[in-house]
Amino acid sequence: MTIDKLLAPGGQPITTSQSPEPLPESVAAPMSTMRVLLLGATGTIGMATARALVRRGHEVVCLLRPRQGVRDLQADALWSERLSGTKLLWGNAAEAEVWQQAGLANTHFDAVVSCMASRTGSPRDAWRVDHQAHVWALQAAQAMGVRHFVQLSAICVQKPLLAFQHAKLAFEKALVESGLTYSIVRPTAFFKSLSGQLDRVKKGKPFLIFGDGQLTACKPISDDDLADFLAGCLDDTARHNRILPIGGPGPAITPLAQGEHLFALLAMPPRFKRVPVGLLDVIIGVLSTVGKLIPAAADKAELARIGRYYATESMLVWDPAANHYDAEATPSHGSETLLDAYARWVKGEGAPDRGEHAVF
Ligand SMILES: NC(=O)c1ccc[n+]([C@@H]2O[C@H](COP(=O)([O-])OP(=O)(O)OC[C@H]3O[C@@H](n4cnc5c(N)ncnc54)[C@H](OP(=O)(O)O)[C@@H]3O)[C@@H](O)[C@H]2O)c1
């Protein structure tokens, strides 16, 4: 047994029966079509992953959470169109009995791919979705004869400080210990998380940065590039039984550089507003105190902690020995850079839907 120290430092090491080093050569097995259960298919990466799996010829079944009693034809039609080429099943994965329904119990799947995650990031929801719902999915997978479980996680779990990170790590551990072949994919920042300032900058407002805008860096990955990487885990044996940090192409980029590039594309003089990180500490302190009496304030305090985390921690591989984030050690996949996407969005082409509840 070895401990994968590089990828799971701090608090919750992942025990694996696989040797983490050296990385094997990428070996794409001859592409065989599989019957795949996809979780989280209505989310940003889930939708892209459904397309990637269908493109590769897999038979894809998506388990979707019913919308406020909407189990009607309208919802079916909407999602049948968005998830075209897949079969839809309805049920909330965070309710144990859903896993007993026909279509899941006593059915065979070759693989589960999960892009499911808490939409709110509140500690309760994170433990319910990022951990408990996944534990039920894992138990069901074992009963359904699944051989391979591909889990979308997040690179930030390597330095866990937040409830959702601990919930994700607890499930990663359960998956590694389950005996199933696993691929745990820990991506860096998504494009949608770095698109929020486009509108305010277009309206002539300054680009907001924490500190000098160089406290952090990331290697953003597009939805389709990440989806391609997730779908590719099924065929590429080099991605089996591994924890896989992954970023997009090109060098790491700081918030300051993102803003400068956006202003250049808009042919506007750069204007930045510097926000001190200490302001977030004050907000966290106040909300945490109020949160002892009012649960809604406690959830807001956790959101502020999430904000502080992303304002101060890079989305790159953490090197615990050197005590710093390492852009060079963060693998790249795909072809589209954030700067390519900015150029498209500035022209009005396909700006991302950040979603009502998108917090990460
Ligand atoms: N944003 C980033 O920059 C970033 C970076 C690295 C990693 N990540 C990680 O990537 C993952 C996915 O992100 P995303 O942006 O694609 O997520 P998302 O758009 O918020 O989608 C979440 C998916 O999970 C489903 N879900 C949530 N609660 C559920 C429940 N109780 N039962 C069944 N399904 C449920 C949602 O279904 P509904 O449509 O029914 O709500 C949706 O399909 C997250 O784990 C996130 O931490 C994000």
- The string of pLDDT tens digits covering residues 115-151 is 999 999 999 999 999 999 999 999 999 999 999 999 9
Determine the pLDDT at residue 68: 66
**Can you give the residue ranges of every domain in the chain?**
2-24+33-192+222-246
Is the pLDDT confidence value at 32 over 90? no
Q: Is the CB of 241 under 6 A from ligand 1?
A: no
Residue nearest to atom 6 of ligand 1 (CA): 154
Quickly tell me which residue has 């509840």 as its tokens.
357
* Cα separations in angstroms, 43 against 197, 212, 357: 21, 33, 11
Going by DSSP bridges, is the β-strand pair 317-319/324-326 parallel, antiparallel, or unpaired?
A: antiparallel
Determine the pLDDT at residue 99: 95
Three-state DSSP at 77 gives helix
**2-24+33-192+222-246 adopts what CATH topology?**
Rossmann fold (3.40.50)
Is the pLDDT confidence value at 10 over 80? no
Neighbouring C-beta atoms of residue 292, cutoff 10 Å: 10
Q: For residue 324, what are the β-bridge partners? A: 319
The atom of ligand 1 lying closest to the CA of 41 is 43
Candidate from 44, 88, 116 with most ligand 1 atoms within 8 A of CB, to mutate: 116
Q: Is the CB of 91 under 6 A from ligand 1?
A: no
* Cα separations in angstroms, 320 against 5, 70, 192, 313: 8, 48, 29, 14
Quickly tell me which residue has 């994700």 as its tokens.
168
The token duo for 215 is 């406290």
The atom of ligand 1 lying closest to the CA of 116 is 24
The residue ranking higher by pLDDT, 209 or 23, is 209
Q: For residue 325, what are the β-bridge partners? A: 318
* Distance (Å) from CA 71 to ligand 1 centroid: 21
Over range 331-342, report the average pLDDT. Answer: 97
Q: How far apart are CA 130 and CA 146, in angstroms?
A: 20
Is the pLDDT confidence value at 352 over 90? no
